[in-house]
Chains A and B, each alone.
Chain A
Amino acid sequence: MLGKKTPLYDSHAVAGAKIVDFGGWDMPLHYGSQLEEHHAVRQRAGSFDVSHMTVVDVSGAGAASFLRTLLANDVARLKDEGKALYSCMLNHDGGVIDDLITYYLGPDRYRVIVNAATRDKDMAWINEQAKAFDVGVSEREELAMIAVQGPEARERAAGVLDDVWRDKALALKPFYGLEAGDLFVARTGYTGEDGWEIILPADQAADFWARCADAGIRPCGLGARDTLRLEAGMNLYGSDMDETISPLEAGLGWTIAWEPEDRQFIGRGPLNEMRANKERRQFAGLVLEGKGVLRDHMRVVVEGRDDGEITSGGFSPTLQRSIAMARLPAGDYERAQVDVRGRLLDVRVVKMPFVRNGKAQIEIQKREER
């Protein structure tokens, strides 16, 4: 394979990971069993190599006004140092270029984490928009990133941190980060479980990863990361939204800061129009009560309305049935059908998330034994 390799690539190879291409990177899909890795995160602790994601530091007197133009969410909401904000970065049509997290590091300093597969277009867009502002944009390619997730993740990973930072890291509230020497530790994630995302120098990554494993944190691949985020109702860029889809049709309306009304972020005009359209598509969860598996791009049939489409579908290891995210016609209904390989199967339309902190968030009927 000719893909890019993270600083942990050799660790994955030695552990026998099945390696797949993800956005041009050679990444671990699983280390033997995706299902066991999934359960490890829901029940105990798992670690993920997310070094393929891009860390971008934005600093300078114009940093805040730049990000308030670039992002649909408003960094002015970040009053406390370390606080994180999830946002979409939109094009001029209101379509999503990427979804990202911004941390407020201190006066005039922000750290933005963008997706791996969108890195090149993101950097081109960010640098282009930055020209009009007094701001420095620096991509931190020398940094690696490890996520530890699960109910026991913080407690187990705390022992891997230097003594001086341990208590402060454990005291972090959800959605806050902390500059801890060479490291950046944030209580964020993409699994619906408690945990940290840790940004660290590439040359420290393999040692940190190994010590996490010694502390009982199970290495997990991108496969489990995908089923965990699906259960958690968290969007995946490229599947659930892209440049032709607005956040309003991807369940991300809550990430748009409409106030103050005079903040002219990129994409605002088209979004205002879409917001007024009551017939715009909605984004919801689907649960298949019977047997079978919902997959990406399957057609959703809603009686008396246009068809919808599954944007992310799969098997939920926690709920032991298939679930999906779907873009659906407007309206208030609880039942639909999905065209599963030529057969129409009944599904329930539900509000996401499906699972949070190890527990089902939707009602599950006990399946009758056949």
Chain B
Amino acid sequence: MSELPGDLTYTNEHEWLRQEEDGTVTIGITDHAQSALGDLVYVELPEVGQDVDGGGEMAVVESVKAASDVYAPISGEVVAVNEALSDDPEKINADPYGDGWIVRMRPSGDDGETMSPDEYQTFLDELED
């Protein structure tokens, strides 16, 4: 299993969040998530400008196996979506923490519970057992 990036926080839904300098938050799914899903073939993205509630459906990622909802880890407004995923959903498989980012949000509060890389690693280790 690859090393988790240290500059991100994580959720128990296997999403990652990166705090950007402009106050926005970039969100994607973790390497564990993409590996469990298998090759991705389709990603349904939200509209830019859309408000989403923490815990609400934000995007759908579909792999060769199944469709999975991606839930918003925080509440806020979608300020950007990764349009490149429309044609190349496999970017998520290839680079989940980089080119495979999914949305960027401007948080409307700080209502999300997240884990540090160490905590998420422990969470993953416990799942394996």
Contact = CB atoms under 8 A, between A and B. Distances in A.
A227 interface: yes
Contacts of B65: 223
B56 to A, nearest CB: 15
Nearest to B62: A293
Interface residues of B, number: 14
Contacts, number: 39
Nearest to A37: B39
Contact of B60 (A18, A317, A341): A341
Contact of A35 (B39, B44, B62): B39
A35 B66 contact: no
Interface string B23-62: 0000000000000001101101000000000000000101
A354 to B, nearest CB: 15
A175 to B, nearest CB: 29
B41 A223 contact: no
Interface of B: 38-39, 41-42, 44, 60, 62, 64-67, 86, 90, 93
Interface of A: 18, 29-30, 33-35, 223, 227, 291-293, 295, 314-315, 317, 322, 341, 370
Q: List the 5 closest pairs (A to B, CB-CB), nearest first.
A: A315-B41, A35-B39, A293-B62, A34-B64, A34-B39
27 contacts: A18-B38, A29-B38, A30-B39, A33-B93, A34-B38, A34-B39, A34-B64, A35-B39, A35-B41, A223-B38, A223-B64, A227-B64, A291-B42, A291-B44, A291-B86, A292-B42, A292-B62, A293-B41, A293-B42, A293-B62, A295-B67, A314-B64, A315-B41, A315-B42, A315-B64, A341-B60, A341-B67
